[in-house]
Amino acid sequence: MTDPTTTRDDALRAREQARKRADKQKTRRRSRYDRPRQTIIWTVLLFGVAVGLVSGLYYAWIIQPLNEAEVAPWQLRTARDTDDLLPDRDAYIMAILLSHEHEPSLGQTVQRLIDLRLSTDDPIQYVADLACRLVRGGYVDSNSHRNAVRSMMRFYQQQGKSGCADQLILMDGRDVPTPTTIVVPTATLVPPATKTPAPQTSPTPETIIESEPFVAPPAPTGSFNIVVFEPFCNRQNSGVIEVIVRNIVSGEELPGYPVRVTGDGVDSTFFTGMKPERGLGYADYRMAAGGVYNIEMPGLSAPTSREIRALDCLDDVSGAPAIRSYRIVFAGN
């Protein structure tokens, strides 16, 4: 017969051994998987954050940097920032003076120049120096460029300023010719009678340089027609009439041309070239939601035959709600 005491001891011993094996397995599983796994998770997390940060900076700075379109005029690029002959701020100055040709308000024009925070206390002389630099740099290679520089010259000459452009380009549209030398004999006066006859003198040549009269060029002329009438929907440029005026032959954009918007109690005239970062022939007008408008170049084109309506729309790319915008291109000579 089996001793009950021995059987009970064997059962207790077997139970104790099973508990020890279970504890050993738990200890081994915890030390093998739990603690190392926590270290790996933190390492991967930090690595992912670093990769995401570097990738975001690379995308924002290199692939698609911020386009600073909405900046104040004094923040535009200057000659110190670029090697362009006509940097953005100087192009804005040219647009100011082209606008002055159509609406000659001296106080407003000078204030606009002062607001640019120029590196001089004499903004009018700055215009003279800018015209000089443009002429010497070969900017006057087309009729529109010449007319723009002559607008600058008329402005500063009327304020008593001068620059080298006065000798390099004429106001009537012709280049400075080689001065013509005319030899005119000097009149010889007959001396009173004396006992000793005076010696005869020969005529002395005198050099006379012909002067060119000031002839003011006419206001912009020609016939312009709408060649592009394109509605579009863009959340970032919502409810805007974008106008571009260009030469129909060369395709060159034309600054300083008037554009008029009417409708719903609105009658506003603005000029191309006031936003040179968008183009010398660019101008725009922001509409009120639900408004109905017409647009024309006063005296240069007929009003649009199609109404411009500021209706609700969905962004062409993102589908976000916006107000319909329009892109209109005038072309003429």
Q: What percentage of the chain has pLDDT greater than the value 90?
A: 25
Query: Is it the case that residue 187 has pLDDT exceeding 50?
Result: no
Cross-strand bridge partners of residue 285: 241
Q: Are residue 233 and residue 300 in the same domain, yes or no?
A: yes
- The pLDDT of 172-179, averaged and rounded, is 41
Range of lowest pLDDT (169-173, 196-200, 292-296, 320-324)? 196-200
Q: What percentage of the chain has pLDDT greater than the value 70?
A: 76
Pick from 174, 195, 218: which residue ends a domain? 218
Q: Which two tokens stand for residue 108?
A: 């407003």
CA distances from 257 to 100, 145, 219, 253 (A): 11, 13, 9, 10
Pick from 156, 183, 218: which residue ends a domain? 218
CATH number at residue 280: 2.60.40
Query: Is it the case that residue 221 has pLDDT exceeding 70?
Result: no
pLDDT given at position 76: 85
Query: Is it the case that residue 181 has pLDDT exceeding 60?
Result: no
Q: Are residue 89 and residue 212 in the same domain, yes or no?
A: yes
Compute the distance between CA of residue 90 and CA of residue 113 in angstroms, rounded to an integer. Answer: 10
- The pLDDT of 9-15, averaged and rounded, is 79
Q: Are residue 295 and residue 211 in the same domain, yes or no?
A: no
pLDDT digits (tens, 9 = 90+) for 241-267: 999 999 988 889 999 899 999 987 889
Query: Is it the case that residue 141 has pLDDT exceeding 50?
Result: yes
Averaged pLDDT score across all residues of the chain: 78
Query: Is it the case that residue 194 has pLDDT exceeding 80?
Result: no
Would 267 be classed as within a structural domain? yes
Would 2 be classed as within a structural domain? no
Residue entry with tokens 């740099």: 137
- Size of the chain in residues: 333
Pick from 153, 183, 218: which residue ends a domain? 218
- What domain range is 287 assigned to? 224-332
Would 268 be classed as within a structural domain? yes
Would 9 be classed as within a structural domain? no
